[in-house]
């Protein structure tokens, strides 16, 4: 059942991004005066041509890449599935809460694969006035998310994995939503 739901979510999201689009920055908005710490985003490449075999990565490949990334960045690591000029698809593992962020021009879908967390969305991002904790959300909606849950985050909407219970791993699909 999970595979059917996941397949439907990915198909719907990738179908929305069927035409070439400019992808806004994949980097989270850094706190004032700081860099994001996530490094340079992987370069955009053309999408697989229509009628091609597409992109395939086995669970073993994704897991190995994610484990390697976690070894060097236990707070947050990702294993890329496909990152093009049309969409970004990654498996992300968060071992700790991070600051709130929003992606201008990008809608996201998170499918929780494992673990749980308190997910806050909406409201307003509030950045700390001095060092210390990262950005937070004021006036948002908090939800407990866990394995099998799906979250859709509209373009430029603040979101935050506030409290992480051990770790949370999710499939992240980010795309530019077509304008009406």
DSSP 100-131: -B--TT-EEEEEEEEEEEEEEESSEEE--SSS
Please tell me the predicted confidence (pLDDT) of residue 138.
95
Share of the chain above pLDDT 70, in %: 72
**Separation of alpha carbons 180 and 172, rounded Å:** 24
Specify the higher pLDDT residue, 105 or 14: 105
* Whether the predicted pLDDT of 142 surpasses 60: yes
Residue written as token pair 């308190």: 118
Structural contact between residues 119 and 143, judged by C-beta atoms closer than 8 angstroms: yes
Q: Is the pLDDT of residue 100 over 50?
A: yes
Q: Is the pLDDT of residue 174 over 50?
A: yes
CATH superfamily, region 2-22+58-175: Jelly Rolls (2.60.120.10)
| Residue 179 banded pLDDT, cuts 50, 70, 90 | low
- Give the pLDDT mean for 73-97: 91
Mean predicted lDDT score pLDDT of the chain: 78
| Sequence spans of domains, the chain | 2-22+58-175
Q: Is the pTM of this model over 0.85?
A: no
Count the alpha carbons within 13 Å of 70 in the hemisphere toward its beta carbon: 15
User: Contact 136/101 with Cβ under 8 angstroms?
Assistant: no
Q: Is the pLDDT of residue 25 over 60?
A: no
For residue 121, pLDDT over 80 is answered with yes
Q: Are strands 150-153 and 87-94 parallel, antiparallel or unpaired?
A: unpaired
116 within 8 A of 144, measured Cβ to Cβ: yes
Among 7, 11, 39, smallest CA distance to 25 is for: 39
Picking from 120, 109, 115, the residue whose alpha carbon sits closest to that of residue 150 is 109
Is 31's pLDDT higher than 50? no
| Residue 99 clears pLDDT 70, i.e. is over it | yes
Instruction: Quickly tell me which residue has 């962020």 as its tokens.
Output: 101
75 or 35: which leads in pLDDT: 75
Q: What is the pLDDT of residues 43-81, one digit of tens each?
A: 556 677 788 888 888 989 988 999 999 999 999 999 999
């Amino acid at each position: 059942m999970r595979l059917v739901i996941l397949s439907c979510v990915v198909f719907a999201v990738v179908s929305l991004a069927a035409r070439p689009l400019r992808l806004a920055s994949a980097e989270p908005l850094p706190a004032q005066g700081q860099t994001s710490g996530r490094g340079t985003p992987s370069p955009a490449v053309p999408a697989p041509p229509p009628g091609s075999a597409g992109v395939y990565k086995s669970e073993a490949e994704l897991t190995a890449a994610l484990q390697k990334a976690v070894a060097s960045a236990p707070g947050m690591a990702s294993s890329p599935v496909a990152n093009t000029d049309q969409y970004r698809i990654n498996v992300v593992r968060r071992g700790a809460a991070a600051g709130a962020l929003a992606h201008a021009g990008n809608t996201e879908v998170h499918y929780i694969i494992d673990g749980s967390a308190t997910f806050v969305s909406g409201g307003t991002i509030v950045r700390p006035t001095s060092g210390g904790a990262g950005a937070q959300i004021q006036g948002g909606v908090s939800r407990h998310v866990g394995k099998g849950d799906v979250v859709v985050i509209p373009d430029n909407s603040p979101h935050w994995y506030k409290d992480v219970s051990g770790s949370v791993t999710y499939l992240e699909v980010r795309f530019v939503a077509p304008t009406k």
